[in-house]
Amino acid sequence: MRKSQNLKGNSTSEDTETELQDDSSFFSVEELNRRLNAPYALAGSDPKKSPILLDSSSPNEPKSSPNATKTNLVPKTAGASRPSSRATSPNNIKRVSDFSFGEIIGEGSYSTVLSATEISTKREYAIKVLDKRHIIKEKKVKYVNIEKEALYLISKHPGFIRLFYTFQDAQNLYFVFSLARNGELLDYINKLGRFNEACVQYYGALLLDSIDFMHTQGVIHRDLKPENILLDDNMRTKIIDFGSAKIQKVTGKTESLPDDFPVNNNHSRSFVGTARYVSPEVLNDKNASTASDVWAFGCILFQMLTGKPPFVAGNEYLVFQKILHLSYEIPVDVSDTASDLMKKILILHPSERLTTEEIRNHPFFSAVRFDKSLWEIAPPRLKPAGHTSTLSLSVPNFVPKSTGDINEQARPSTLSVSSAYPTPNTPVNTTFSLPSPPEYEEMNKRWHSVLLEDEKVSKITILNVSSFPGSGSHEAVRFFSSLFRKKKPRTFILTTFGRCLLVSMNSGGRATIKEELPVKSVGLRVHSVKNSDHTWIMETPTRSWSFEDPREPASTWIELINRATSITTAFENHSVTSFCRSIARSIS
Ligand SMILES: Nc1ncnc2c1ncn2[C@@H]1O[C@H](COP(=O)(O)OP(=O)(O)OP(=O)(O)O)[C@@H](O)[C@H]1O
């Protein structure tokens, strides 16, 4: 199979022959408990049975399993495997020291994902790190196991992220994945506003093909959404995050795994994923089925076509109401064929919804050949719908790395966008300041000692903030321990010059700057956090900040910070240019 090279000359993990290598003791609940010597009550494979309390001297501690094999990835009974029962050679089991860790590339509710290079092969991976204590405390051990099992079952298909290794150390569990460098589908939808129908057809077809395969393997994802769809070097989709999956068949024979995905039986339901893609049957306390994934697929298709998911409201309860009343509107400029397809997917009763096969045969996909060739054709250039004048924007994070032998056409170096706010890479116009609302006159006086000449307050609010060392390899380790550090409320000022200040006022009424956030830092990344609409991260190579604003969504803040970056950069460039001009004038 192909082995590819990236720009740095490193091999990428994608498409290499490596099989999943696994520390088979990985997720033994007893092992986790023993190592942590934690006083948690742990559920075994059936959480409804009495919880097992284990410590190193527990008489319940299991004997090593003679049947443990490399493919026996999930201990089916509590403690089916122990370190001594490893089927894989200890040499095959990876360790943290085998990798050099890079940037944080994503965060989930239970994990942090970092880029990493295997030191011996120079191959690049994405490593998902899960804090054992947190997993145990939140009773998620079973879901971690299911994620691993599901990933194993669907590993043959190109539409899914590939799991190469799993291992653990005293604090953490590690999943080593192929690295999807081009980020989340959601970012592209948000940047473009909406995709044109050719793009929706292509990306919809890739997703449909993947979902279809997943279902034939007995896996129901249950948390499909644009954040869980990544784009690889070739701009093809990779579905991730099987932490909520349900597996109906395990390695050939039908076997129902426990199905207590966190939908409560009362009406105060809590979801692991965002509520917007949840199907009506799940809201009606019915089990999720393959049709529930089809519903989510319909929502994603709708979002690619229109820019927004079909059911959006101010809070979860209202979203649920809209879903249960099938209250959505298709914009008039969506084609009749696309509208027809969405209307036939977004149907309340799962048995009346189109199946994946019926969707494949719908006229919307008439131009698509659903076979292996689908994954070999070059993706269309991503374009927004209905835009005549588009802006060509190079987005460093999104520019695929050279992989040597792939089709050049498949790697767009620019992305067409309709830009609402300038990003650091967008040519900015020559307004160098943000507006200051007239009602902020009092604020400008109150905080004048932290402001520069002619600078005013553009936005002031209280945010919950925590900060931690940046994402260097050693720092990353320290970062894990600070993952759950408490955030402190801080006064945040965005100035008209684009400066972002964390400030305080002493008892004598004197304002001081506690910290100025480095909005112009080289390597700055500002991104949201999965499953938390109100949290966002500012990340630099040396330091990162996590913010939470219960009032405003993270997306608003991300736009504002991007704007602040543009403005400060433009302001600086302008000042340098003016300075050079004045020097030139004075010399001549
Ligand atoms: N293989 C990968 N390549 C690049 N980025 C990745 C990869 N895997 C995960 N990510 C990034 O990390 C984020 C978190 O990953 P993931 O969804 O697997 O975590 P999680 O803890 O299971 O999340 P959740 O809170 O939804 O359960 C993703 O949204 C994505 O942005």
CA distance 21 to 19: 6
Ordered alpha helix ranges (H), 307-440: 316-324, 336-345, 356-360
Local structure of residue 144 (DSSP, 8 states):
H
Report in angstroms the alpha-carbon separations of 268 from 223, 261, 303, 323: 19, 14, 27, 16
Ligand 1 near 243 CB (within 6 A): yes
Closest by Cα among 561, 553, 423 to 492? 561
Ligand 1 near 126 CB (within 6 A): yes
Geometric angle at alpha carbon 451, from 448 and 453, rounded to 5°: 100
> In 3-state terms, what secondary structure has residue 544?
strand
Q: Write the pLDDT tens digit of every residue in 415-462.
A: 222 222 223 333 333 346 788 888 788 888 888 888 887 888 998 888
pLDDT given at position 13: 52
pLDDT given at position 286: 83
Q: At 151, which helix (H) or strand (E)?
A: helix 141-153
Instruction: Write b or e for each residue in 374-407: b if 16 or more Cβ atoms lie within 10 A of its Cβ, otherwise e.
Output: bbeebbbebbbbeeeeeeebebeebbbbbbeebe
- The annotated binding site is made up of 128
pLDDT given at position 60: 30
ipTM of the assembly?
Answer: 0.97
Which of 22, 23, 223, 293 is catalytic? The answer is: 223
Cα(160) to centroid of ligand 1, in Å?
A: 12
Cα(114) to centroid of ligand 1, in Å?
A: 9
Tokens 């300038």 locate to 422
C-beta separation of 157 from 213 below 8 A: yes
C-beta separation of 16 from 64 below 8 A: no
Cα(108) to centroid of ligand 1, in Å?
A: 6
By DSSP bridging, strand 391-393 and strand 253-254 are unpaired
Ligand 1 near 304 CB (within 6 A): no
CA distance 584 to 111: 55
Counting atoms of ligand 1 from 1, which one is nearest the CA of 110? 21
Tokens 């701009």 locate to 235
Q: Write the pLDDT tens digit of every residue in 233-283.
A: 999 999 999 999 999 854 444 333 333 333 323 332 334 446 899 999 998
CA distance 232 to 360: 23
Closest by Cα among 551, 519, 552 to 538? 519
End-to-end alpha-carbon separation of the chain, Å? 65
pLDDT given at position 115: 94
Report in angstroms the alpha-carbon separations of 420 from 80, 190, 285, 425, 562: 55, 10, 40, 13, 11
Among 230, 231, 233, say which to mutate for ligand 1: greatest number of ligand atoms within 8 Å of CB: 230
pLDDT given at position 223: 93
> In 3-state terms, what secondary structure has residue 467?
strand
Ligand 1 near 354 CB (within 6 A): no
The ranges of the chain with pLDDT < 70 are: 1-91, 249-274, 386-432, 469-486, 507-508, 570-588
CA distance 20 to 73: 10
Closest by Cα among 276, 260, 287 to 49? 260
Ligand 1 near 245 CB (within 6 A): no
The residue type found at 131 is: D
Task: Clarify whether 223 is annotated catalytic.
Answer: yes
C-beta separation of 60 from 68 below 8 A: no
Share of the chain above pLDDT 90, in %: 37
The residue type found at 509 is: G
CA distance 370 to 11: 30
Closest by Cα among 22, 183, 177 to 93? 22
Q: Rounded to two decimals, what is the model's pTM?
A: 0.58
pLDDT given at position 269: 35
CA distance 323 to 432: 43
Among 142, 178, 222, 241, say which to mutate for ligand 1: greatest number of ligand atoms within 8 Å of CB: 241
pLDDT given at position 308: 95
Write phi, then psi, for 146 (nearest 5 degrees): -65, -40
The three-state (H, E, C) secondary structure of 58-98, written as one string: CCCCCCCCCCCCCCCCCCCCCCCCCHHHCCCCHHHCCCHHH
Cα(381) to centroid of ligand 1, in Å?
A: 25
